Amino acid sequence: MTDISHQLHRDAELPDSRISDSQLSDSPVTISSTNSTDGFDWSDEEYKNFSREIQLLKHEYHKSELFSDESLIKLLDDYPRTWLQCYTMGTNPENHNEWTPVHIAESNGTEIMQALKKGRIWINAVNIDKYDKHYGKLIEEMYTKISANCPHIHNLRNAFNALLISSPGIQVYYHLDTDPNMLWHIRGVKKFWVYPARDKRFTPQNYIEEIVAQERHENMPYQSWYDDHAYSVSLEEGQAVSWPQHSPHRVENVTVNVSLTSSYESSESRRLVGVHGANYYFLKKLGIKNRPTNTQGVVPALKSFSYYVCNKLSLLKKGSRTSTYVSDIKVDANSETGLSKMKIASRTAFSYIDE
């Protein structure tokens, strides 16, 4: 995707009174004022700006029974444990090293929900669209509609989706995702910050390259002054937030939360990832310090093509983070904190996802 970083007027007014406490600078923001009777019904302008600007949009998915406690408990009962991730964390947003995996495989849906409501637990049910056809149909229709109304995004396709269920007071540390993605908020209230895309003040270029190569975790160093340059909002049910590819973001929960996170691919997004991948594996190895990140033209196309061909042929050595998901903490509905210590640390079930 081409670089779409723009400047915001610091004093720009927001039409939605519920987010009057938002801080705006450095990144473009648009707010949806539409209501939907069919998942979502965005305006032509909102579709035009999708992926190009930070957007606060509306949807109706929060009204679906798919996201009731009863449905979630049934889902968690049988969800593949290699696809069910669980973490706890500290309270300092500047210390992402406290992001800690938690054993969840031995708990059933009722126990998980009980522990979550009184603990500091973040649950990530990955591949939700592949596991359950009802969620899959919802997400397929979602991206079919977006693709049909966003001609500026070429060959758009659904890439990765997860259902997020989390405790009051938890946080998701400052991080960056490789593919373009967005958050569909379903239940609860959460504070959400998005920072300017590919701005070297907040995301050094080598961080993105290392994340693409899986040599670095998505969590990145953060300092509180970054918030002066962020778009922030208290997300409520029925709202979605979208942002340009490679925009760092972080979260703090106010209440129990349920959200859908969805990533997508396009010709533009794949080109951008390919350029960063080529920079890491080819140009960096040659000692080139100023590695171009532009995506337009013959040279970026060749860089991206070379990266994907070599990756397809398994010629690129990728980092591995799953084997480090060792923990001595488990979900425990009988504990006051929803968690308890184990006698021996071991790999979590979800660390075996790629094995």
In a domain, 5, yes or no: no
Q: Cα 68–71–159 angle (5° rounding)?
A: 95
Residue 190 shares a structural domain with residue 280: no
pLDDT of res. 243: 98
Residue 212 shares a structural domain with residue 154: yes
**Residue 283 CB neighbours (<10 A):** 17
Residue 216 shares a structural domain with residue 190: yes
- Backbone torsions φ then ψ of 174, nearest 5 degrees: -55, 125
Residue 40 shares a structural domain with residue 85: yes
20: confidence class by pLDDT, cuts 50, 70, 90: very low
In three state form, how does the secondary structure of the chain look? Answer: CCCCCCCCCCCCCCCCHHHCCCCCCCCCEEECCCCCCCCCCCCHHHHHHCCCCEEEEECCHHHCHHHCHHHHHHHHHHCCHHHEEEEECCCCCCCHHHCEECECCCCCHHHHHHHHHHCCCEEEEECHHHHCHHHHHHHHHHHHHHHHHCCCCCCCEEEEEEEEEECCCCEEEEECCCCCEEEEEEECCEEEEECCCCCCCCCCHHHHHHHHCCCCCCECCCCHHHHHHCEEEEECCCEEEECCCCCCEEEEECCCEEEEEEEEECHHHHHHHHHHHHHHHHHCCCCCCCCCCCCCCHHHHHHHHHHHHHHHCCCCCCCCCHHHCEEEEEECCCCCCCEEEEEEEEECHHHHCCC
- More confident position, 23 or 161: 161
pLDDT of res. 209: 98
Nearest to 193 by CA among 218, 168, 222, 167: 222
Is 89's pLDDT higher than 70?
yes
Residue 298 shares a structural domain with residue 236: no
Query: How is residue 86 written in tokens?
Result: 């669980």
d(CA 302, CA 310): 12
> Based on the structure, what is the number of domains in the chain?
2
Section 28-56 average pLDDT: 79
Residue 189 shares a structural domain with residue 299: no
In a domain, 92, yes or no: yes
- pLDDT, the chain, mean: 90
Question: Which residues are CB-neighbours of 6 under 8 A, at least 6 positions away?
Answer: 27, 28, 53
Residue 260 shares a structural domain with residue 279: no
Residue 52 shares a structural domain with residue 158: yes
Q: What is the CATH number of the domain that holds 34?
A: 2.60.120.10
Query: How is residue 17 written in tokens?
Result: 């009174």
In a domain, 285, yes or no: yes
pLDDT of res. 130: 97
pLDDT of res. 211: 96
Section 287-300 average pLDDT: 97
Q: Cα 96–101–103 angle (5° rounding)?
A: 165
Range of the domain at 185: 17-265+323-346
Residue 239 shares a structural domain with residue 276: no
pLDDT of res. 29: 53
Biggest CA–CA distance in the chain, Å, is 60
Section 105-119 average pLDDT: 97
Burial of 80 (0-12, 13-18, 19+ CB in 10 A): middle
In a domain, 171, yes or no: yes
Query: How is residue 138 written in tokens?
Result: 């919802």
pLDDT of res. 319: 80
d(CA 270, CA 214): 16
Section 195-201 average pLDDT: 97
Is 138's pLDDT higher than 90?
yes
In a domain, 32, yes or no: yes
Across the beta sheet with 181-187, what order do the strands follow?
Answer: 29-31, 54-58, 239-242, 181-187, 257-265, 157-166, 122-126, 84-88, 100-101
pLDDT of res. 36: 38
In a domain, 187, yes or no: yes
Section 267-282 average pLDDT: 98
Section 95-105 average pLDDT: 97
Residue with the two structure tokens 């801080």: 23
Is 18's pLDDT higher than 60?
no
6: confidence class by pLDDT, cuts 50, 70, 90: very low
pLDDT of res. 170: 98
Residue 155 shares a structural domain with residue 279: no
Residue 177 shares a structural domain with residue 28: yes
d(CA 1, CA 326): 36
Residue 203 shares a structural domain with residue 303: no
In a domain, 11, yes or no: no
pLDDT of res. 355: 79
Section 166-191 average pLDDT: 98
In a domain, 6, yes or no: no
What torsion do the CA atoms of 53, 273, 123, 330 make, to the nearest 10 degrees? -150
